[in-house]
A = this chain, B = another copy of it.
Amino acid sequence: MESRKIKDLLYEQVARVGKAASSPKRLELLDLLSQGEKTVEALASAASIDIKLASAHLKVLKEGRLVEARRDGRFIAYRLAGADVAGLWVNLRTVAEEHLVELRVALGQIFAAPERLTAETRISLLDKARQGKVIVIDVRPEIEYRAGHLPFARSMPLAEIERHLPDLPADKEIVAYCRGPFCLMSDEAVRLLRKRGYRASKISDGVAEWVMQGLPLDVSPLT
């Protein structure tokens, strides 16, 4: 029967997307690309893999049409093929968190200990940030902040957070975020801030999770 052959073809196409999402390193690359466009070099170093291996993985992602490449001077910059790809990544991760006990255990080991983190609902956080009752800090590298960040958040990259500490009012509540639930930078920031006497906590949201809730982002124009 011919309809069978056609059907196989259809599922085969979707499997290209699934195949792109079937490797841990590729998922890590997707997660990184959700923070904005990045060069191969930046991706390879962030995922701590060889640049040739990064190229190979990016090729698979490109074959599944999840990412696109753009030439920028002597670099090649990769970006997600669309906002729906970031949504797919969040969807995949959410389903995994929902059904894979091992993942919940691993997440619990990271984020429950040693500090206790209070959960903030997104809307009330947005309100409090707008009113200046809390300071929301984005501890990712500044280039990711500029590509898109939570409203009212200020950039305070973890790498140089010590330098910016004087800018932080000591009496305000601090809320840190970074790349998402799998990112440890905001935990490190909270640990550091508390040691200095700040009232600090983190949210697990990154920008991808934020937009999936239908909430807006801010984009910084070039300085």
Query: Which residues of A are at the interface with B, using a C-beta cutoff of 8 A?
Result: 3-4, 6-25, 27-28, 31, 48, 64-66, 81-82, 84-85, 87-88, 91-96, 98-100, 102-103, 106-107, 109-110, 182, 184
Closest Cβ of chain B: how far from A178's Cβ, in Å?
A: 13
Name 11 A/B residue pairs within 8 A (Cβ), A-sorted. Answer: A6-B184, A10-B182, A11-B27, A13-B102, A14-B27, A14-B103, A15-B21, A16-B96, A17-B95, A18-B19, A65-B100
Partner of A25, one of B11, B20, B48: B11
The answer on a CB contact under 8 Å between B103 and A82 is no
Alpha-carbon separation in the docked complex, A16 to B14 (Å): 17
With A7-B182, A91-B88 already in contact, the answer to whether A23 and B13 are too (CB < 8 A) is: no
The answer on a CB contact under 8 Å between A10 and B107 is yes
With A18-B22, A19-B22, A84-B95 already in contact, the answer to whether A11 and B182 are too (CB < 8 A) is: yes
